[in-house]
Amino acid sequence: MIAYTLVVADLRDYLLRLANEKNIVTVDILGPMIQGIQKISQLEPAMKPGLLHQLDEQYFRKVEAIEFAVKYDDGKDPRGIVHADVVLVGVSRTSKTPVSMYLAHKRVKAANVPLVPEVGPPEELFQMPKRKIVGLTISPQLLYGIRTERLKALGLVGNADYASLKRILDELDFAEAIMKRIGCPVIDVTNKAVEETAARVLQIYYRGERNV
């Protein structure tokens, strides 16, 4: 029986010896790759299994951030946003949810709140430090196209108020007024990938942390 305390090198030697005894052909896939990296980096490999997925503090912080993003997605519980590292605000379809999830994988607890003219924004937004809030906006034309395609995907009519240009302009004006009232930085997500937007949010977040 193999002891669980064996390191990778010991386990590799054991398997090679066992394979030779049984006349089994073996192919070392990772050995030459590790040796090549070792030669270039001049670093000794740790030779410990499971380092990539070890359950350390950073792993649990990531899990906590992901659970937080899911729990406080789309303004589900405004009371929780005061505990967020970052709160994203914007109209529907400005990538708030995917950016929140991307930030969660960077161990940043992100909540997001949709801004809708018929629903007043939660008072918690105005009680938080403005450095923790980031607004997301988008060009009306692009948003019109995104919402129209969204309705088609759901099997709904394309001329619904949700995708009308007038409605979109009204929502963007409302959101802009709220963001100005909060005094938060605003990112234009037009033609930006989620990773680009998240990177900008992280810049704002870490800059705010340094200025505390």
pLDDT tens-digit map of 102-117: 999 999 999 999 999 9
What confidence tens digit (pLDDT) does each residue in 141-190 have? 999 999 999 898 888 875 689 999 999 999 999 999 999 999 999 999 99
> Which neighbouring-strand residues pair with 40?
none
Say which residue the tokens 């709160």 belong to: 87
- Residue 195 token pair: 């990773």
What does DSSP assign to residue 54?
-
Q: Which of 1-10, 92-101, 116-125, 140-149 has the lowest mean pLDDT?
A: 1-10
pLDDT, greater one: 84 or 48: 84
* 100 pLDDT higher than 80: yes
The predicted structure's pLDDT at residue 136:
98
* 3 pLDDT higher than 50: no
HEC letters along 190-202: CCCCHHHHHHHHH
Q: Which domains does the chain have, with CATH numbers?
A: 1-53 (no CATH), 57-210 (3.40.50)
- Provide the pLDDT confidence category of residue 82 given band limits of 50, 70 and 90: very high
| CA end-to-end distance (rounded Å), the chain | 56
Average pLDDT, the chain: 90
Distance in angstroms (rounded) separating the CA atoms of residues 65 and 25: 46
Q: Do 55 and 61 touch, CB atoms closer than 8 A? A: no
pLDDT, greater one: 109 or 50: 109
The predicted structure's pLDDT at residue 160:
82
What confidence tens digit (pLDDT) does each residue in 11-46 have? 788 888 999 999 999 988 888 998 999 999 999 988
